[in-house]
Structure 1
Amino acid sequence: MENPQPNKKNKIPPFDALPLRAGDPYLSAWGLYGEDDELGALRRLDDERVLDAVRGEVRCGYRISLNWPLNAQTASKKSFFQRALFHHDVIHKAPRVVNDDIWTFNSQVSSQWDGLRHFAYQKEGRFYNGVTLEQIHGEGFEKGNTTRDGRSEILGIQAMAEQGIVGRGILLDFHSWRLAQDPPIPYDPFKTGSIPLKYLKATAEAQGTEIKFGDILLIRSGYMAAHNEMSEEELSALKDVMPPTFSGVEQSEEMLRWIWENFSAVAGDQPSFECWPTQQSYSLHEVLLAGWGMPIGELFDLEKLAAYCKKEKRWSFFVTSEVCNVPGGVASPPNILAIF
C-alpha cells in the first residue's frame, strides 16, 4: 500500500532517472540537493512531514526504546566484524562522594546508525556526493569544514545530529509474519540469505500498514529473537567466522526502487540490514549511503516494539532519534524512541 510513483510533493526524481548525471556511480543521486549536501535522503523529513507525523502518530504518549545495550556483546568477549567492545570504568572521585565514568567502544558495536562516512562505492572509491577517502582522512583538507583539532569533518555524523532523525516510523514484523504462514517460512538469520521484497510487501499488507513517503522503515527480521536464545559459546563460535554471514533484505533493483520511492532512512535488528556477504556485484550499503545519503540502522532491539504493535494492532508510530554530535564521526548509537 505504498505510494506507487513519486509525485511533485515528494520532490524526488523518478527511480528510472538514476544516476542523475552521466558518469556517476550506479543509481546515485549526487547533486540532487547541491554539491555540498551532507544530509541526503534525510531532507525528505522536512518540517511539514515531521509535524504530520506528530499529529498522526502521537496519541497516548507511550514510549519504547529501540536501543540494544551498549555492552550487549561483551559477555562473549567478541563482536561481529571484530569491532571494539564497550568498556566501562566507574571512577570514585575520592575523597568526595562523587562518581564519574568513562566509556570506550566502537560506535557500531551495538545499535547504530551508519553515517555517510562509513561505506563508499567500492569500485569508484567515492562516498556520498563524490567525497574521497583523502578528503575524509586529510588534515585541514577544506577550509571551513574541519574539526577544532584541524581534521576534516566532511560527511561527519554531526550533520545528522543538527535536527536528528525524526518522523513517522513503521515496523514491518517479517519475523511474526513468516511464522504465521502455513507452513512457516524457514529463515536463519546467521546464514547468508535474503528477505525478498514480496515478503516485506506481504507483511505490510497483513498488518494493514500504510506506507507514506518519507517514513523511517524498521524491519524485524528475527535476528534479535534468535540471538537472545543462543548461548554465549554459540555466539562466540559464530563471531569467529570471517567474513560473517547474515540474512537480510535482498539486493535487487526492485528493493532499491521501493526504498527510493518511499523512505528517508532504513533500519533492522540484524548486524548488516542487507544479506551479507552481498549476492550481487554491488551492495545496498553502496547505493543507500554513498549514492543517496540514506542512513542505515542496524542492531536495533525491536522485540518490545513488536510485542506492543501486535497488542495494539498498530505498526506505525513517531520516531525520535538523536545521534551523537561528534564532528567527523562515522556512525553513532541511535538514542531512539518509538512514541505512540
Structure 2
Amino acid sequence: MSFKPLPTFDELPVDKKGPFLNAWGLYGDNDQLGFLNRLTDDVVKEAAREIQSGTRTSLNWPMDAQKDIPFFGRQVFHKHVYQKPPRVVNDDVWTFNTQSSSQWDGLRHFAYQKEAKFYNGVTLDDIHSDDSTVNGIGAWSEKGIVGRGILLDYEAWRETHSHPQKDALKSGTITLSELKAVAEWEGVEIKFGDILIVRSGYMVQYNKRSRDELEALSKILPPTFLGVEQSTEVLNWIWDNFSAVAGDQPSFECWPSTQSYMLHEVLLAGWGCPIGELFDLEALSRQCEKTGRYSFFVASEPCNVPGGVASPPNIIAIQ
C-alpha cells in the first residue's frame, strides 16, 4: 500500500473535517497500525545495530505487582494453579485486567472525548457491534513493536542535578525542556521512528509507600500522577520523532490533564500512537548507567487477541 507523504505537524489535521490534530487516512482509511507504520523493515534493521553485548533487560512489571489495590479501579490479577490427577501435572488459569500492570494502550482504549471518535473515525457502535475487531490490539501482534528504544531517565538526571523530587503519585508535569535536557545529559541521539521510554521514578516511590497510603491514594478520584506535560510542543516533538511512547507511570502523561485535551486523545485516537504504561525501568536504568548508552534494541509483542483493547507488552531491551 502506498501512503501519503508525512505531513509536518503544522499541516495537521490530515482529515480537515475531523478532530484536533488528527492523522486519519494517512495510512489508509482501514489502517490498524497508526504510528507503527513508521517501524519499517529498514528502520528495524538499523535498530538491530544497537545490539553490541547481547545483554537483555525485561521491562515487564509482575502482573500481580499492584496486588489487590490497583489504580484506576482496575481488576486485580488472579492466578489459579490446579492439579490434573491421576497424572503428576499442573495447569493454571489467569484472570486479569490488561491494564493492571505493564501495558500497551491499544486503539480501542481512548477516543476523542468531545467527538466520541477513535482512530480513523471509529465509533463505540463500530467497536461493540457483533464480531467487530476494528482497531483491535491483535493487529499489532503480527509484527510487534520492534525497533530502537531510547530511555530518557528523568529520575537519574534529576538526582544528578540535585533537583527536588516531584511526588510521582500527585499530579505534576515533566516538561519538554526537562526531557530535552535529559537527552542532552545522556548524550543520546534521537532518530526518527524511535520508541520513547521515560523513567519518572514512579516505581521507586510506589514501592516505598505503605499499604495504607496506597489504599488511600487508590480512592482519590480522579487519580493523580506525575507525567509528561500536555502541550502542543510535546505533541510536535512526538510527531516529528517517535513511533511509540511509554513510561513507568500509570498514565504516561500528567494526570489529570492540565489542558482542555489529553495526550491520550491525540496519540491514540488521532495518530494511532501506542502508549506504554507501568513499564518497570529500574533494571534498564542501571544497565544504561553502566554502559553509558541510553539507546537499545527493543522487542515487544502484544498478545494476539483480535478486538482486544490493551495488552501486556511482553517487552525486552537488548544492548
Partners in 2 of 1:172 and 1:325 — Cα distance? Answer: 29
1:81-133 deviation per Cα after TM superposition (whole angstroms, max 9, x unaligned): 01011000001001110000000000000000000000000000000000000
Equivalent residue number for residue 144 of structure 1: none
Check if 1:166 corresponds to 2:143.
no
Equivalent residue number for residue 192 of structure 2: 213
Partners in 2 of 1:185 and 1:314 — Cα distance? Answer: 25
Check if 1:58 corresponds to 2:37.
no
Partners in 2 of 1:29 and 1:259 — Cα distance? Answer: 13
Displacement, 1:186?
Answer: 3.3
Equivalent residue number for residue 310 of structure 2: 331
Partners in 1 of 2:44 and 2:87 — Cα distance? Answer: 46
Matched letter for residue 338 of structure 1: A
1:146-180 deviation per Cα after TM superposition (whole angstroms, max 9, x unaligned): xxxxx211000111011000000000000111122
Displacement, 1:20?
Answer: 1.1
Partners in 1 of 2:207 and 2:293 — Cα distance? Answer: 25
Matched letter for residue 22 of structure 2: S
Equivalent residue number for residue 129 of structure 1: 120
1:294-338 deviation per Cα after TM superposition (whole angstroms, max 9, x unaligned): 000000000000011001100000000010000100000000000
* Superposition CA RMSD, Å: 1.0
Equivalent residue number for residue 156 of structure 2: 176
Matched letter for residue 98 of structure 1: V
Equivalent residue number for residue 104 of structure 1: 95
Check if 1:38 corresponds to 2:32.
yes
Partners in 2 of 1:265 and 1:185 — Cα distance? Answer: 29
Out of 76, 87, 93, the residue aligned to residue 84 of structure 2 is: 93
Matched letter for residue 98 of structure 2: S
1:57-80 deviation per Cα after TM superposition (whole angstroms, max 9, x unaligned): 011111000000000011xx2210
Equivalent residue number for residue 238 of structure 2: 259
Partners in 1 of 2:133 and 2:21 — Cα distance? Answer: 25
Say which SS state the counterpart of residue 170 (structure 1) adopts.
strand
Partners in 2 of 1:157 and 1:24 — Cα distance? Answer: 23
Matched letter for residue 51 of structure 1: K
Matched letter for residue 65 of structure 1: S
Partners in 1 of 2:206 and 2:171 — Cα distance? Answer: 16
Say which SS state the counterpart of residue 245 (structure 2) adopts.
strand
Check if 1:68 corresponds to 2:48.
no
Matched letter for residue 198 of structure 1: S
User: What is the count of residue pairs matched by the alignment?
Assistant: 316
Equivalent residue number for residue 14 of structure 2: 20
Partners in 2 of 1:223 and 1:313 — Cα distance? Answer: 22
Equivalent residue number for residue 6 of structure 1: none
Matched letter for residue 174 of structure 1: Y
1:191-218 deviation per Cα after TM superposition (whole angstroms, max 9, x unaligned): 1111100000000000000000000000
Say which SS state the counterpart of residue 42 (structure 1) adopts.
helix
Say which SS state the counterpart of residue 168 (structure 1) adopts.
strand
Displacement, 1:11?
Answer: 4.8
Equivalent residue number for residue 225 of structure 2: 246
Matched letter for residue 46 of structure 2: D
TM-score (norm 1): 0.92
Which 4+ stretches in 1 moved above 3 angstroms? none
Equivalent residue number for residue 138 of structure 1: 129
Check if 1:82 corresponds to 2:76.
no
Matched letter for residue 157 of structure 1: I
Partners in 1 of 2:237 and 2:316 — Cα distance? Answer: 25
